[in-house]
Amino acid sequence: MALIGSHCLIAAASVTVECWCRYEVVLMGPAAGNPFTGSSLHADFRLEHRTVTVDGFYDGEAKWRVRFMPDEIGEWTYTTRSSTPELNGATGQFQCVNPSTGNHGPVAVSETYLSAYADGARYVVLGD
């Protein structure tokens, strides 16, 4: 499977992903029926004793996706959950590695009134 996009987009077949980059699982579901009324998809991503549950979404043409951004270094595993048999019980794993130069992670509030990247680098908004 080949996915295109930013340097952080990783296909499910890959075994490593940078911290704070997107890991994507793509599953094929049934082509018949209305995917918006009877199906749902969730994935449980695990690192040691921590579990993060992520909702998946229907992307057209019987394709379902789950997108996850690991925020800790280590070996992550995942298992999907769905009432649709074709989407239920898919498993996989990947190794989350150190971020590359320039990958500072998401921005959040820091020191009450400031913003900073996840790695602690200051984020400054400039505008008119």
Tally of domains within the chain: 2
- Both 24 and 63 in one domain: the answer is yes
Q: Containing domain of residue 122, as a range? A: 104-128
- Both 40 and 75 in one domain: the answer is yes
Mean pLDDT of 110-123: 88
Mean pLDDT of 38-61: 95
Mean pLDDT of the chain: 87
Lowest mean pLDDT across 9-23, 61-75, 108-122: 9-23
- pLDDT of 100 reads 92
- Both 108 and 92 in one domain: the answer is no
| CA 53/CA 4 separation, integer angstroms | 25
Phi, psi of 5 (to 5 degrees): 150, -150
Take residue 119 and report the two structure tokens written for it: 């790695």
- Both 93 and 109 in one domain: the answer is no
Q: Which of 106, 18, 5 is nearest to 65 (CA)?
A: 5
* Predicted model pTM: 0.81
- Both 50 and 110 in one domain: the answer is no
User: Is pLDDT larger for residue 112 or for residue 10?
Assistant: 112
- Both 88 and 126 in one domain: the answer is no
Residue 117, in any domain of the structure: yes
Residue 61, in any domain of the structure: yes
116 in Cβ contact with 107 (< 8 Å)? yes
